[in-house]
Amino acid sequence: MDPYRHAIKPMLADLREEPFDSQDFIYELKWDGTRALCFLRNGQRFQNRRLYDITYRYPEVRVRTRKDAILDGEIVVMDGGLPSFGKLQEREQSSAKLRIEYLSKVVPATYVVFDILYLRDEAVMGRPQMERKALLREVVEEEDRVVLSDYIEARGVDYYHAVTARGLEGIIAKRKDARYVPGKRSKDWLKIKKKSVQLCVIAGLTVGEGGRADTFGSIVLGAYDEGVLAHVGRVGTGFSEALRRHLTTRLAALRQEACPFPEPPELEVPLAFWTKPALACEVHFLEWSKERHMRAPSFSRMREDKRPEDCVVTFA
């Protein structure tokens, strides 16, 4: 099978709460972009994490290598020296050719390369991480729209604090001898993200699918903004199976027909039921979106010591 003509699932990083120092790891910036493998033989093809071809979205990004290769990296849109998730979303959601051409000029993207899977017809995924980094320097021709991801060794704690102080998302720690394993989430790669904390009122549940069909998909969240309960998003990660079942039973007892918000929010997924705004929980998240919803939320814990009225939000 020719790997250049097929989809490849990217390797994924596991999550770690706190930064650490280690001589066995290198540390890279966690780019706030869209994951993209680049297939370079008789032209180029970008494939995202969901295995879709997204080449047409980024006509301004031309990757050049000294030999045929399959690369892994992140497509980012910079704004004021920082990756902009909002501007990236504008690029990701555009499909009309004229619109894509316009955006490629006014909000151009950059491909940040951090790994190599194939060199010509040889699979190099079994080589150690540092050997693959050396191959990238030999193979990839850097330019304005194509750069190699920089890294430091050993000093993960200092690097994490420097990165988050600049308002960036976090870092990725990679074991120096790590092999690339397509489609697998590995502790050889660890993502360490900055996090904000928000106290939230539980306002409802959405319908679960697959293995969650008998519990819930996500919890609908609210917080009080100047005395009014505002919808601040949904959270579907961070729950153990036991906690999911416990919360499903507990929240069913608080079920009500009326929406607890002044206006029913657009949830994008089916609602199971609304609940009385009686329970508080703690949620970690990356930042506020322009819609005033939490980005990348993760459930932390129930807060039995807090009243719903204590869940106050200040958007920043």
3-state secondary structure of 175: strand
Could you write out the DSSP letters of every residue in 183-226?
T-EEEEEEEEE--EEEEEEEEEEEPP-GGGTTS-S-EEEEEEET
How far CA 240 is from CA of 70, 215, 245, in Å, comes to 37, 12, 9
Q: Are 149 and 73 in contact (CB under 8 A)?
A: yes
| Residue 162 to residues 41, 150, 156, 159, 166, Cα–Cα distance (Å) | 38, 14, 10, 5, 7
- Exactly one of 30, 133, 174, 193 is catalytic; name it: 30
DSSP letter, residue 312: B
193 in active site: no
Q: Are 139 and 69 in contact (CB under 8 A)?
A: yes
DSSP letters for 230-255 = EEEEEE-SS--HHHHHHHHHHHHTTE
- What is the DSSP pairing of strand 280-285 with strand 185-193? unpaired
DSSP 20: -
What is the per-residue burial (b if ≥16 Cβ within 10 Å, else e) of 180-199? bebeeebebbbebbbbeebb
Closest CA to 272 of 225, 190, 203, 224: 203
Cα(247)–Cα(304) distance, rounded to whole angstroms? 13
Within 10 Å of residue 40's Cβ, how many Cβ atoms? 19
Active site residues: 30
